[in-house]
Chain A
Amino acid sequence: MDVRQPITRHQARVLAAVGVLTFFALWCVLSYANIVPTVILPTPTEVLRAFPVLHFQEALVRSIGGSLYRVYMGFLLAAVVAIPLGLLMGTFPPVKSFFVPLLDPLRFLPISALVPLFIVWFGIDEMQKIIFLFVGIVVYLLPLVVEAVENVDDVYLQTATTLGASKGQLIRHVLIPGSLPAIGEALRVMNGIGWTYVILAEVINARYGLGYLITAAGKRSNVDQIFALVLVILVIGVVTDWIIRMVNKQLFAWNE
Chain B
Amino acid sequence: MARQLTPLGRFLFVVAGLSLLGYGLYKYGVLARIAGIVAPERRAEGTVSKDDFGSGSAAPAGTGAATSTSAALPSGGSRLKRPIKVAIVLWGGYAGGIMANNGMLPNPDSTFSRDFGVQVELLQIDDFDKSRDAFRAGGDKGGVDIMWSTVDAYALEYGGLSKLGPKAIMQYDWSRGGDAIAVDASIKSVADLKGKRLACAEATPSHFFALYVLTQGGLTNRDVNWVFTSSAVDAANVFKAGKVDAAVSWSPDVYVAAREREGGHILASTKEATNLIADIFVARGDFLEQHPEDARRFVAGWLRGVEMVRKNPDKAAVLLQKSLTGVNTLDDAKGMLDDVKLPDYGENRAFFNPQGSIVNYFSIYQSAQNIWRKIGKISSVNPAQQTVDTRFLDAGAEFFPGASTSVAESKPEFEFKAPAPRTTAAPILTKTVSIYFPSGASVLDENAKAVLDSQVVDLAATFGSAYLRVSGNTDNVGARDANVRLSRARAESVAQYLMTKGFDRNKFDVVGNGPDKPVASNDSDGGRAKNRRTDFEVIAR
Question: A residues touching B (Cβ–Cβ < 8 Å)?
Answer: 37-40, 53, 55-59, 61-62, 65, 115-116, 119-120, 123-124, 203-206, 215-216, 218-223
Contacts and interface: CB of A to CB of B under 8 A. Distances in A.
Nearest to A203: B230
Interface string B234-262: 10011001011000000000000000000
A124 B227 contact: yes
Interface stretch (B174-182, B376-384, B497-505): B376-384
Nearest to B40: A56
Interface in B168-215: 199, 202-204
Nearest to A205: B227
Given A37-B136, A218-B132, A55 B229 contact: no
18 contacts: A37-B163, A40-B136, A40-B137, A56-B43, A58-B42, A58-B43, A59-B42, A116-B237, A119-B234, A119-B243, A203-B230, A203-B234, A206-B228, A220-B160, A220-B378, A221-B159, A221-B160, A221-B161
B328 to A, nearest CB: 19
A38 B137 CA distance: 10
A188 B321 CA distance: 50
Given A57-B379, A59-B39, A203-B234, A222 B241 contact: no
Contacts of A221: 132, 136, 157, 159-161
Interface in B86-112: none
A119 B136 contact: no
Given A59-B39, A205-B227, A221-B157, 6 more contacts: A119-B234, A203-B231, A204-B228, A218-B129, A220-B157, A221-B161
A203 B53 CA distance: 29
Interface residues on B, range: 35 or more
Contacts of A218: 128-129, 132
Given A61-B40, A204-B228, A220-B377, A124 B238 contact: yes
A77 B234 CA distance: 26
B471 to A, nearest CB: 39
A37 B199 CA distance: 36
B451 interface: no
Given A203-B230, A216-B202, A55 B129 contact: no
Contacts of A55: 40
B164 interface: yes
Interface of B: 38-43, 128-129, 132-133, 136-138, 156-157, 159-161, 163-164, 199, 202-204, 227-231, 234, 237-238, 241, 243-244, 376-379
B229 A204 contact: yes
Contact of A120 (B43, B202, B237): B237
Given A39-B163, A59-B40, A219 B204 contact: yes
A115 B163 contact: no
A220 B228 contact: no
B395 to A, nearest CB: 28
A119 B228 CA distance: 13
Contacts of B159: 220-221
Nearest to A224: B160
A254 to B, nearest CB: 27
A223 B41 CA distance: 22
B316 to A, nearest CB: 31
Q: Which of A62, A115, A204 has the most CB of B within 10 A?
A: A204
B136 A57 contact: no
Contact of A39 (B164, B377, B378): B164
Nearest to A123: B243
A116 B231 CA distance: 11
A203 B237 CA distance: 13
Nearest to A219: B203
Contacts of B163: 37-39
B382 to A, nearest CB: 13
A256 to B, nearest CB: 30
Contact of A61 (B39, B138, B238): B39
Contact of B234 (A57, A116, A206): A116
A120 B236 CA distance: 12
A39 B157 CA distance: 13
A124 B238 CA distance: 8
Contacts of B230: 203-204, 215
A29 to B, nearest CB: 18
Contacts of A124: 199, 227, 238, 243-244
B287 to A, nearest CB: 13
Contacts of B128: 218-219
Nearest to B133: A40
Contacts of B133: 40
A204 B377 CA distance: 17
Given A218-B132, A219-B204, A221-B132, A57 B238 contact: no
A62 B137 contact: no
A39 B161 contact: yes
A221 to B, nearest CB: 3
A40 B132 CA distance: 10
A164 B234 CA distance: 60
Contacts of B203: 216, 219-220
A23 to B, nearest CB: 22
B164 A120 contact: no
A185 B137 CA distance: 41
B442 to A, nearest CB: 49
Contacts of B202: 216, 219
A116 to B, nearest CB: 5
A139 B338 CA distance: 46
Contacts of A215: 230
Nearest to B157: A221
Contacts of B156: 219-220
B237 A119 contact: yes
A192 to B, nearest CB: 22
A65 B40 CA distance: 12
A62 B228 contact: no
Contacts of B129: 218-219
| Shortest beta-carbon contacts, A-B, top 6 | A221-B160, A61-B39, A203-B230, A59-B42, A120-B241, A57-B43
A115 B234 contact: yes
Nearest to B204: A219
Contacts of B164: 39
Nearest to A65: B39
